[in-house]
Amino acid sequence: MSVESAIRGILIADAPVSAQVDTRVYPVNGVPQDAAFPYIEYTVPSRQMIRTHDGPIASNRYTMDLTAWGTSYASAKSVMDAAREALNGHRGTASGTQILGVFDDDESDEAELAQHAEEHGQVGVSLSLLVWSRS
Protein backbone atom coordinates (compact mmCIF):
# COMPACT_ATOMS: atom_id res chain seq x y z
CA MET A 1 0.00 0.00 0.00
CA SER A 2 0.98 3.66 -0.10
CA VAL A 3 1.77 6.30 2.49
CA GLU A 4 -1.31 8.17 1.30
CA SER A 5 -3.53 5.15 2.00
CA ALA A 6 -1.91 4.69 5.40
CA ILE A 7 -2.48 8.31 6.47
CA ARG A 8 -6.06 8.22 5.16
CA GLY A 9 -6.64 4.99 7.08
CA ILE A 10 -5.30 6.48 10.30
CA LEU A 11 -7.54 9.54 9.92
CA ILE A 12 -10.79 7.71 9.20
CA ALA A 13 -10.11 5.19 12.00
CA ASP A 14 -9.66 7.98 14.55
CA ALA A 15 -12.94 8.68 16.38
CA PRO A 16 -12.52 12.48 16.82
CA VAL A 17 -11.61 12.89 13.13
CA SER A 18 -14.28 10.55 11.74
CA ALA A 19 -16.93 12.16 13.96
CA GLN A 20 -16.37 15.34 11.94
CA VAL A 21 -15.51 14.11 8.43
CA ASP A 22 -16.73 10.48 8.40
CA THR A 23 -14.76 9.05 5.43
CA ARG A 24 -14.44 12.37 3.55
CA VAL A 25 -10.64 12.25 3.23
CA TYR A 26 -9.64 12.67 -0.41
CA PRO A 27 -6.55 13.00 -2.58
CA VAL A 28 -6.24 16.57 -3.84
CA ASN A 29 -7.30 15.58 -7.36
CA GLY A 30 -10.11 13.30 -6.13
CA VAL A 31 -12.42 15.63 -4.19
CA PRO A 32 -15.96 15.17 -5.53
CA GLN A 33 -17.61 18.31 -6.94
CA ASP A 34 -20.44 17.96 -4.44
CA ALA A 35 -18.31 16.98 -1.42
CA ALA A 36 -20.02 17.77 1.88
CA PHE A 37 -18.17 19.95 4.37
CA PRO A 38 -16.04 19.48 6.35
CA TYR A 39 -13.55 17.28 4.54
CA ILE A 40 -9.80 16.74 4.34
CA GLU A 41 -7.76 16.73 1.15
CA TYR A 42 -4.17 15.52 0.95
CA THR A 43 -1.22 15.55 -1.38
CA VAL A 44 2.37 14.32 -1.29
CA PRO A 45 4.52 17.04 -2.86
CA SER A 46 7.80 15.25 -2.23
CA ARG A 47 9.37 11.89 -1.46
CA GLN A 48 13.01 11.46 -0.51
CA MET A 49 14.61 8.04 -0.77
CA ILE A 50 17.11 7.60 2.04
CA ARG A 51 20.56 6.56 0.80
CA THR A 52 23.79 5.52 2.46
CA HIS A 53 27.25 5.03 0.94
CA ASP A 54 26.15 1.44 0.28
CA GLY A 55 23.10 2.59 -1.68
CA PRO A 56 19.41 3.16 -0.97
CA ILE A 57 17.81 1.68 2.13
CA ALA A 58 14.19 0.70 2.55
CA SER A 59 13.16 3.94 4.30
CA ASN A 60 11.60 7.01 2.70
CA ARG A 61 10.76 10.48 3.94
CA TYR A 62 7.62 12.08 2.55
CA THR A 63 6.32 15.59 2.88
CA MET A 64 2.54 15.33 3.04
CA ASP A 65 0.19 18.29 3.02
CA LEU A 66 -3.33 18.09 4.45
CA THR A 67 -6.00 20.77 4.18
CA ALA A 68 -9.20 20.64 6.21
CA TRP A 69 -11.99 22.54 4.46
CA GLY A 70 -15.06 23.71 6.33
CA THR A 71 -17.94 26.16 6.14
CA SER A 72 -16.24 28.32 8.78
CA TYR A 73 -12.76 28.82 10.14
CA ALA A 74 -13.83 27.20 13.40
CA SER A 75 -15.00 24.00 11.68
CA ALA A 76 -11.86 23.70 9.53
CA LYS A 77 -9.62 24.38 12.55
CA SER A 78 -11.49 21.78 14.64
CA VAL A 79 -10.99 19.12 11.97
CA MET A 80 -7.29 19.95 11.60
CA ASP A 81 -6.73 19.94 15.36
CA ALA A 82 -8.23 16.44 15.52
CA ALA A 83 -6.18 15.30 12.51
CA ARG A 84 -2.95 16.65 14.03
CA GLU A 85 -3.71 14.88 17.31
CA ALA A 86 -4.33 11.60 15.44
CA LEU A 87 -1.18 11.82 13.31
CA ASN A 88 1.57 13.68 15.17
CA GLY A 89 3.97 11.12 16.61
CA HIS A 90 2.09 8.16 15.12
CA ARG A 91 4.06 4.94 14.61
CA GLY A 92 2.90 1.53 13.46
CA THR A 93 1.51 -0.29 10.47
CA ALA A 94 -1.50 1.20 8.70
CA SER A 95 -3.07 -0.07 5.48
CA GLY A 96 -0.10 -2.42 5.03
CA THR A 97 2.51 0.35 5.24
CA GLN A 98 5.01 0.55 8.09
CA ILE A 99 5.00 4.11 9.43
CA LEU A 100 8.21 4.87 11.34
CA GLY A 101 6.98 8.29 12.45
CA VAL A 102 4.71 11.19 11.55
CA PHE A 103 5.77 14.68 12.59
CA ASP A 104 3.95 18.03 12.42
CA ASP A 105 6.07 20.33 10.27
CA ASP A 106 4.00 23.49 9.61
CA GLU A 107 0.45 24.87 9.74
CA SER A 108 -1.22 27.66 7.80
CA ASP A 109 -4.66 29.04 7.00
CA GLU A 110 -6.23 28.91 3.55
CA ALA A 111 -9.23 30.55 1.92
CA GLU A 112 -10.74 29.78 -1.45
CA LEU A 113 -11.64 33.45 -1.71
CA ALA A 114 -9.31 35.92 -0.08
CA GLN A 115 -12.10 38.21 1.16
CA HIS A 116 -15.32 37.06 2.80
CA ALA A 117 -14.29 33.40 2.61
CA GLU A 118 -16.72 32.32 5.33
CA GLU A 119 -19.64 33.81 3.36
CA HIS A 120 -18.82 31.40 0.54
CA GLY A 121 -18.23 28.41 2.81
CA GLN A 122 -14.71 27.54 1.75
CA VAL A 123 -12.29 28.11 4.57
CA GLY A 124 -9.33 25.83 5.16
CA VAL A 125 -6.52 25.08 7.55
CA SER A 126 -3.43 23.33 6.19
CA LEU A 127 -0.90 21.13 7.91
CA SER A 128 2.42 19.90 6.52
CA LEU A 129 3.70 16.60 7.85
CA LEU A 130 6.97 14.74 7.59
CA VAL A 131 6.21 11.04 7.25
CA TRP A 132 8.93 8.41 7.57
CA SER A 133 8.06 4.97 6.25
CA ARG A 134 9.70 1.68 5.41
CA SER A 135 8.89 0.06 2.12
The domain limits of the chain are 3-134
- 20 three-state secondary structure: helix
**pTM, 2 dp:** 0.84
46 and 63 Cβ atoms separated by less than 8 Å = yes
Rounded to 10 deg, the angle between the 3-13 and 73-87 helix axes is 110
pLDDT tens, residue order, the chain (135 aa): 699 999 999 999 999 999 999 999 999 999 998 899 999 999 988 777 766 777 667 788 899 999 999 988 899 999 999 999 999 999 999 988 999 999 988 776 665 554 555 555 688 899 999 999 987
Q: Does domain 3-134 have CATH number 2.60.40.2140?
A: no
